[in-house]
Amino acid sequence: MKYVVGALALIILWGCATDYKETQVSLEPYSLADGFELSVLAAEPLLDTPVAMDFDDQGRMWVAEMTGFMENLESSTEENPSGAIKILEDRDGDGVMDHAKVFLDSLVMPRALAHVYGGLLYAEPPRLWFVEIENDQPKNRVLVDAEYAPEGNPEHQPNGLVLNIDNWIYSAKSNYRYQRKDGEWLKEPTSHRGQWGIAQDDFGRLYYNNNSKILLGDYMLPNVLVRNRHFAPKHGIGEVLTETQRVFPKHAASVNRGYIPGVLNADSLLQKVTAACGPTIYRGGVFPEGYAQNAFSCIPEANLIKRTVLGFHGDSISAGFAWPDKEFLASTDEGFRPVNLNNGPDGALYIVDMHRGVIQHHAYLSPYLRERSKEKGLDTIIDYGRILRVQAKGAITAPIPDFSDMASSELVELLGHANGWVHDRAQRHLILRNDQDIIGTLNGLLRSDTEDKAKLHALYTLKGMGELELNSLLKVLDNQDAELVAAAIHALEGFVDSNSSSGVFAAYSKLSSKAQPTIDLYLASTMARWAHIDARFYELVGVLLHRYEGRPLYREAFFSGLEVPLETDRLQTLELAEGFYVQYQKVLASQEMAWLNPIYRKKSHTMDSRTRGSLLYSKICSACHGSTGAGIAQMAPPLLDSEYVSGDTERLAKVLLHGLSGPVTVNGTTYEYGHVMPGLRDNPEISDADINALLSFVTNAFSDGGKGLSTEKIKEIRATLPKSGGEYTEEELNGVD
């Protein structure tokens, strides 16, 4: 097996001394958990305002710089083509980057990048691009998606670009996923996830967050719960994993809504997150015991990184704080703005530090934070940027495999590597090579009797190559690893036909007798498809849904696979709970009426894009309320058919102008997200006429008829402040004292 010479620090060796200057950064303001050490790998002037990074096959760091973001409080440089993607190198071999090579420049607000398919995928809103790499130069650029990110607030545009174990690339703040197959780029709907940053665990579940929630996640593999286009699940996707959003900063940092009661304590310390982002799941394999698959989240407004310990319970995931009153990493440096985290080729945890004084976009910048930023000089902290590394003390750093010079058989050996970065990369290379001589080896691995984590990657490698075999998957079902078995159950849907049903039914009956929650959940998700071609599977439907009658995720998993109606009479004989049959009829009605899950609908605001209100909605509102007005889980409630939209237009204008805090009830459902909807009254770019345009569009698009107000009335509402001077509460809007 061949390896790149040296560790990550020795990216490029030079025979003579260099004269590159390395910025010295004091780490005295930083407090790190015991047993770890922090180092600065790169700093200004090598890089400026980094927001995302990835490693290439040699372990070099590629960094996207969003230099135009909030260079001043008005964000007047946002449209300047000043961004870049750089390759960072350590030319003198001392472990600190001393050279930056520009790969792409003259970019406008680049926000994400990923080394995939032998090239670089990167986002420069509104477009998603793929470019080949030749001698560290871009070549043959291809437009992957012209509408990857809508115009508008950069805080609410898609980002992330994580190539998951299932061979699909996922983004935060987006309901699309991407894959390149036979040279063609595929794009298909997926669930909307989070706001900034997205991560995977070893099984392939996705994790993300939003401003006010430290960690969100999916209980099942991507798209399993949304296969039925006519069914929208209420469970298992976008679940809040952290029960509390408490943080423990080292100092009184400046936050955007610090004037709201309860945001700060008596010592002006932040109590709950207001800008959580950039989560990752640690998969490096060299941290101490107890750290594997822990979640780490960036909390840039409080200058810290939080560690949470995940618990896996078959049909749910929990996340508890590692410590009750302290953080994994916290700083008193108010310029420290961690915005993304990466697992590295050496097993370390890498921190992308934007290092900017003001990171709240001007469209939502409160007068409170504006004033404090000027007082503290935060608006002068610009032209900085750092990459930090967290290592376990005493950890042995393994050399980086030289993927380009490896035989395919050697890559197969790496599928079981302890470091997630390494075995993920090995899977990608095997699929990209499409070496037909290795298919037998991979199938042999699946059929072996060993309990090897490499089998999961072998399964997805074969799937990516289009070479999965029925008998190999059936053999996998004998494993003791529930997640591996679950992945095989999901993959077996590619073999749904009468010729294979007998063998599958026998295997699934045996699995069902174990009553293992994870396995049963995936069995429930696939039963409808098999029952459609083989009536014997109705028996298993009854067993599974009776067993988990009080756990709605199992029922929704079943409906997710119900693309073709089953025999109602046969279902009735199962004597399931009445609620099942009621929901079943609703799903059938949705299919008959061609009702679609919102992720499969076309963008509704395009139908009225000629109006100012439509453009404003797309730019300001859709990021939270969704392009269809259906709302986004853990972000904002629905506008579609909401009494706030169909009711008193003056009340809606008050919300638009002054904002809304606290719980809100829409159509009988109370939404409590823990964050504030900001008003537009202090935004100098939004006129009274714009507010009227927004009112007209929203009421027209999401209720029975369009309504507006005169500019005089809007001016009057703008001038009349809520009692608090900040945002309205629902009680005040409704006249409740």
Q: pLDDT digit string (tens) for 342-376? A: 999 999 999 999 999 999 987 777 878 988 999 99
Taking the C-alpha atoms of residue 593 and residue 609, their distance in angstroms, rounded to an integer, is: 27
pLDDT of res. 675: 77
Q: Judging by DSSP bridges, how do beta strands 169-172 and 728-729 pair with one another?
A: unpaired
The predicted pLDDT at position 620 comes to 85
CA pair distance 64, 109, nearest whole angstrom = 9
First-residue to last-residue Cα distance in the chain: 73
Enter the tokens of residue 519.
């396995």
How distant, in Å, are the alpha carbons of 41, 81, 109, 111 from that of 84? Answer: 19, 9, 8, 10
> pLDDT digit string (tens) for 138-187?
999 999 999 999 776 788 899 999 999 999 999 999 999 999 999 999 99
| CA-to-CA dists, residue 535 to 303, 349, 520, 546, angstroms | 58, 51, 19, 18
Side by side, the strands of the sheet bearing 213-217 are 198-200, 206-210, 213-217, 239-240
Task: Inform me whether the pLDDT recorded for 428 exceeds 70.
Answer: yes
Asked which of 275-289, 506-520, 662-676 is least confident by mean pLDDT, the reply is: 662-676
Q: How far is CA 443 from CA 207, 426, 453, in A?
A: 30, 16, 14
Averaged over 663-692, what is the pLDDT?
A: 87
Q: How many angstroms separate the CA atoms of 98 and 90, rounded?
A: 5
Q: Is the peptide bond before 300 cis (omega within 30 degrees of 0)?
A: no
Domains of the chain, each with CATH number or no CATH: 30-392 (2.120.10.30), 469-585 (no CATH), 602-733 (1.10.760.10)
- Please give the C-alpha separations between residue 458 and each of 3, 348, 453, in angstroms, as whole numbers: 22, 25, 9
Instruction: Between 705 and 621, name the one with better pLDDT.
Output: 621
Per the CB < 8 A criterion, the answer to whether 464 and 164 are in contact is no
Cα 582 from chain centre: 34
- The β-bridge partners of 192 are none
Q: What three-state secondary structure class fits 209?
A: strand
Query: How far is it, in rounded angstroms, from Cα 482 to Cα 554?
Result: 16
pLDDT digits (tens, 9 = 90+) for 547-575: 999 999 999 999 999 988 899 999 999 99
Instruction: Identify the pLDDT of residue 725.
Output: 86
Residue 120 phi/psi, 5-degree rounding, is -125, 125
518 HSE (CA, 13 A, CB side): 19
- Confidence category of residue 16, pLDDT binned at 50, 70, 90: very low
pLDDT at 682: 86
Which residues lie below 8 Å from residue 734, measured CB to CB, with a gap of 6+? none
| Parallel/antiparallel/unpaired status of strands 659-661 and 728-729 | parallel
How confident is the model at residue 174, as a pLDDT? 94
Q: What are phi and psi of 200, to 5 degrees?
A: -125, 155
Per-residue CA distances from 323 to 38, 252, 328, 348 (Å): 19, 20, 8, 21
CA–CA separation, 512 vs 548, rounded Å?
12
Closest CA to 430 of 461, 468, 469, 467: 461
User: Residue 476, Cβ neighbours under 10 Å: how many?
Assistant: 23
Residue tagged 């009553």 (tokens):
515
Percent of the chain with pLDDT over 70: 94
What is the DSSP code string of 668-710? TEEE--SS-EE-STT-TT--HHHHHHHHHHHHHHHSSS-----
Mean pLDDT of the chain: 91
Residues 6+ apart with CB under 8 A from 243: 318, 320
Alpha helices in 593-687 (DSSP H): 612-616, 622-625, 643-646, 649-658
Q: Are strands 386-392 and 30-32 parallel, antiparallel or unpaired?
A: unpaired
Res 737 pLDDT > 70: no
Q: How many CA atoms lie within 13 A of 456 on its CB side?
A: 23
pLDDT bucket at 608, cuts 50 / 70 / 90: very low
Residues of the chain with pLDDT > 90: what percent? 72
How far CA 445 is from CA of 409, 441, 457, 459, 485, in Å, comes to 12, 6, 10, 9, 14
Judged against a pLDDT cut of 80, whether residue 5 lies above it is answered with no
Residues 196 and 192: their CA atoms lie apart, in Å, by 12
> What does the pLDDT read at residue 605?
30
Section 182-209 average pLDDT: 97
- List CB contacts of 728: < 8 A, sequence separation 6 or more: 654, 655, 658, 659, 660, 661, 722
Sequence letter at residue 155: E
| Coil vs helix vs strand at 396 | coil
For the segment 63-83, what is each residue's pLDDT rounded down to a tens digit? 999 999 999 988 889 889 999
| Tokens standing for residue 548 | 């988990």
By C-alpha distance, which of 107, 211, 119 is closest to 674? Answer: 211
Q: Which two tokens stand for residue 367?
A: 């007068």
Check whether 604 has a pLDDT greater than 80. no
Residue 182: predicted pLDDT = 92
Q: How far apart, in whole angstroms, are the C-alpha atoms of residue 168 and residue 91?
A: 35
pLDDT at position 617 is 81
Q: Residue 657: which of 626, 691, 680, 684 has the closest Cα?
A: 680
- Tokens 């006429």 belong to residue: 689
The answer, yes or no, to whether residue 272 has pLDDT greater than 70, is yes
Segment 301-318 shows an average pLDDT of 97
CA count, 13 A, side-chain hemisphere, 295:
33
Report d(CA 5, CA 454) in Å as an integer: 25
Distance of alpha carbon 203 from alpha carbon 187, whole angstroms = 22
pLDDT at 603: 52
Q: CB count, 10 Å around CB of 509?
A: 15
Please tell me the distance from the alpha carbon of residue 99 to that of residue 101, in angstroms, as a whole number: 7
